[in-house]
């Protein structure tokens, strides 16, 4: 299944990038630093939930309507359970009216909704990659085969592959909206309209499989500019929270006080054209005195350690954190999840193969019984 293949690719990549530091972002601004492994493992976790949604939709949809006729079944002695088994269904719709699309269309909304959610994630990741390749970010270089150029501006390297994913995601949402409106109405009314929704669904599902595979090809081919990403990870005060934490730990200050002192320090540095690498004990004391007339009292080593992005990452060892050893633990856990889900898919394939064989056997038996 393409989603499990991409999860494996992300987990493998994460293991090689536990020391690749990059800025985190919130509100479009630099937040606390993370690692590329930490980010890619979050994508893998997202895909695991997508698999749950896909499998849940499959379980709900894979119930046999055969024998329900148009809503009330038949007076012929139809063995609906036997028919379901031979056709590869896992269960039978217990209510004949519920089995008929014209009367109950929620299962026909299930798949477009699940695929639209999956595409929401893929479009977000495509946006990340596009942003990372810009001159302003320059975190990665993307291979030429995923890019195009301008008919006028020959110097441009336009990222085309991720843009295609974003376009396909719009169609996936459109498929859900189309399905919703085509299938709503009084009981028994929407009939022909459903074909418009189903026609689009097949195309959207094919696109999703294609684009999951596309990510598998692209991500390992990215050229990661590790040193540049590391430099950016603390240039805009992304580790300032740990300087405040040092004041709490070493000087026994309340967090709110430490927060205000470091905020004043950053304002002073910005006014003077200085960055985190330029902070001295005297400057931190100046900020503390401006706030509550008491010097901060941290030495240079403590300040430098607090602002170091590598140390920042290394100390986030809590469950779910970005520290290398914790990322490796998550990778092992997520890999177990992939293995479990691959077994689920293999079990589905095996049941469908068995049903196909049984159906052929049953057909042969009926033919052999003919006069």
224 bridge partner residues: 140
Q: How confident is the model at residue 103 (pLDDT cuts 50, 70, 90)?
A: low
User: Averaged over 132-145, what is the pLDDT?
Assistant: 92
Q: How confident is the model at residue 157 (pLDDT cuts 50, 70, 90)?
A: confident
The chain-wide mean pLDDT, for the chain, equals 92
pLDDT score at 252: 96
- 197-252 per-position pLDDT tens digit: 778 889 999 999 999 999 999 999 999 999 999 999 888 899 999 999 999 999 99
- 316-335 per-position pLDDT tens digit: 999 999 999 999 999 999 99
Domain spans of the chain? 2-65+101-232, 240-307
Task: Answer yes or no: are the C-beta atoms of 23 and 56 closer than 8 Å.
Answer: no
Question: Which of 112, 104, 1, 107 lies closest to 62 in space, CA to CA?
Answer: 107
pLDDT at 68 over 80: yes
Stated as kind and residue range, the H or E segment containing 311 is: helix 309-314
287: burial class by Cβ within 10 Å (0-12, 13-18, 19+)? buried
Instruction: Identify the CATH class of 240-307.
Output: mainly alpha
Task: Answer yes or no: are the C-beta atoms of 126 and 168 closer than 8 Å.
Answer: no
Instruction: Indicate the DSSP class of residue 277.
Output: G
pLDDT at 169 over 90: yes
Q: How confident is the model at residue 190 (pLDDT cuts 50, 70, 90)?
A: low
pLDDT at 104 over 80: no
Task: Answer yes or no: are the C-beta atoms of 57 and 114 closer than 8 Å.
Answer: yes
Sign of CA dihedral 267, 270, 275, 280: negative
Helical axes 161-183 vs 194-221, angle rounded to 10°? 160
Which CATH architecture is the domain 2-65+101-232 placed in? Up-down Bundle (1.20)
Question: Which of 327, 332, 340 lies closest to 1 in space, CA to CA?
Answer: 340
């Amino acid at each position: 299944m393409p989603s499990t293949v991409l999860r494996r690719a992300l987990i493998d990549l994460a293991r090689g990038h536990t020391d690749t530091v990059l800025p985190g972002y919130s509100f479009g601004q630099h937040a606390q630093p993370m690692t590329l492994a930490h980010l890619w493992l979050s994508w893998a976790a997202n895909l695991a939930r997508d698999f749950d949604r896909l499998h849940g939709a499959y379980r709900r949809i894979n119930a046999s309507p055969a024998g329900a006729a148009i809503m009330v079944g038949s007076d012929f002695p139809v063995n609906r359970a036997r028919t379901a088994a031979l056709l590869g269904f896992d269960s039978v719709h217990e209510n004949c009216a519920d089995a008929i699309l014209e009367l109950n269309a929620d299962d026909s909304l299930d798949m477009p909704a699940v695929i639209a959610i999956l595409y929401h994630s893929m479009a977000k990741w495509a946006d990340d990659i596009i942003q990372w390749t810009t001159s302003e970010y320059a975190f990665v270089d993307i291979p030429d085969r995923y890019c195009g150029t301008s008919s006028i501006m020959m110097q441009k390297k336009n990222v085309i592959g991720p843009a295609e994913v974003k376009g396909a995601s719009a169609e996936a949402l459109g498929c859900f909206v189309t399905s919703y409106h085509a299938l709503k109405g009084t009981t028994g009314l929407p009939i022909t309209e459903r074909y418009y929704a189903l026609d689009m669904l097949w195309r959207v599902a094919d696109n999703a499989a294609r684009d999951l595979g596309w990510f598998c090809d692209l991500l390992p081919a990215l050229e990661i500019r590790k040193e540049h990403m590391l430099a950016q990870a603390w240039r805009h005060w992304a580790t300032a929270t740990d300087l405040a934490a040092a004041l709490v730990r070493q000087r026994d200050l309340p967090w709110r006080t430490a927060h205000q002192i470091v905020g004043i320090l950053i304002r002073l540095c910005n006014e003077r054209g200085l960055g985190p690498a330029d902070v001295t004990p005297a400057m931190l004391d100046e900020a503390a005195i401006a706030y509550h007339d008491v010097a901060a009292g941290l030495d240079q080593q403590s300040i430098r350690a607090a602002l170091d992005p590598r140390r920042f990452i290394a100390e986030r060892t809590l469950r779910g954190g970005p520290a290398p050893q914790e990322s490796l633990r998550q990778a092992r856990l997520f890999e177990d999840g992939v293995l479990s889900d691959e077994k689920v898919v293999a079990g589905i394939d095996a049941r469908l193969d068995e049903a196909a064989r049984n159906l052929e056997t049953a057909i042969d038996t009926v033919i052999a019984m003919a006069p």
